[in-house]
Amino acid sequence: MNLLLLYLLLLKATATSFSGLTSLPVVRNDLVVRYQVLTDRQLNAAVVAGQTGPGPYGLYVVSVGYFVAGVPGAFCGYLAMITPAFLIIPMLRYLGARARHPGARSAIQGVTLAAAGLIVASAIPLAQDALTGAAAVAIAIASFLVLIATRLDTLWVIAGSAVAGLVAGFLA
């Protein structure tokens, strides 16, 4: 498949979705059904790869590009993933100039509090999926307490959780 076409098809998918995996139906329709350059099995593997590694789930688009056209295809997927991110800057410029108005400040506070709600709402399914045993619950609580009560670098909490998971895996 032509790399420019691959980029444009993946960009169409990323630029019309508003979170990680919501672009999936568009990707499947174009690459699996219409152009037949990707199989459902490969698409599934791409989603798993995107969720297994660090970073956002939207990274699965990079894996899709890789399965379609190797490393150059992965690069097309990468560009399609990062391009829409820069649309936020004109929005921020517009709102930033108005952010001193008391009404705008109060509205932004409302959004900030809703952001806390959004984080909790997306933590619930992750907790249901990840906190399946006593060890995982202990890691989650310990992470929360260390992060809330100390100024320790977040990296140490990540490293400690990996080691704790490994120890729990050995003991299980």
Partner 1 sequence: MSRPSLRELAALFARIPNLTFGGGDPTMAALQRELVARRGWLAPEQYGLAFGLARLTPGTNLLAFCAAAAWLLRGALGAVLAVLAASAPAAIVVVALSYGYQALKGNALAMSVIAGLLASAVGMMATAAWRLVRPHVRRGEGLRALVLAGGSVALLRGVAMPPVAVLALAAVAGFFWRRSEEE
Considering only 30, 60, 69, 76, the residue that binds partner 1 (CB under 8 A) is: 60
Q: Which of 28, 31, 27, 34 is nearest to 12 (CA)?
A: 27
Contact 138/132 with Cβ under 8 angstroms?
A: no
Half-sphere CA count of 121, side-chain side, radius 13 A: 6
Q: Tokens standing for 156?
A: 């140490």
Q: CB of 144: closest distance to partner 1 in angstroms?
A: 4
Which residue, 5 or 82, has its beta carbon nearer to partner 1? 82
Positions 95 through 124 that interact with partner 1 (CB under 8 A): 95-96, 99, 102-124
Q: Rule CB under 8 A: say whether 131 interacts with partner 1.
A: yes
CA distances from 119 to 68, 82, 123, 127, 157 (A): 34, 22, 6, 12, 19
Q: Rule CB under 8 A: say whether 134 interacts with partner 1.
A: no
Which residue, 5 or 89, has its beta carbon nearer to partner 1? 89
Q: Rule CB under 8 A: say whether 56 interacts with partner 1.
A: yes
Q: Tokens standing for 135?
A: 């060890």
Positions 13 through 52 that interact with partner 1 (CB under 8 A): 14-20, 45-46, 48-52
Of the candidate spans 1-9, 31-39, 84-92, the one that interacts with partner 1 by CB under 8 A turns out to be 84-92
Q: CB of 155: closest distance to partner 1 in angstroms?
A: 6
Instruction: Supply φ then ψ for residue 122, to 5 degrees.
Output: -85, -15
d(CA 27, CA 43): 9
Q: CB of 18: closest distance to partner 1 in angstroms?
A: 6
Q: How many residues bind partner 1 (CB under 8 A)?
A: 101
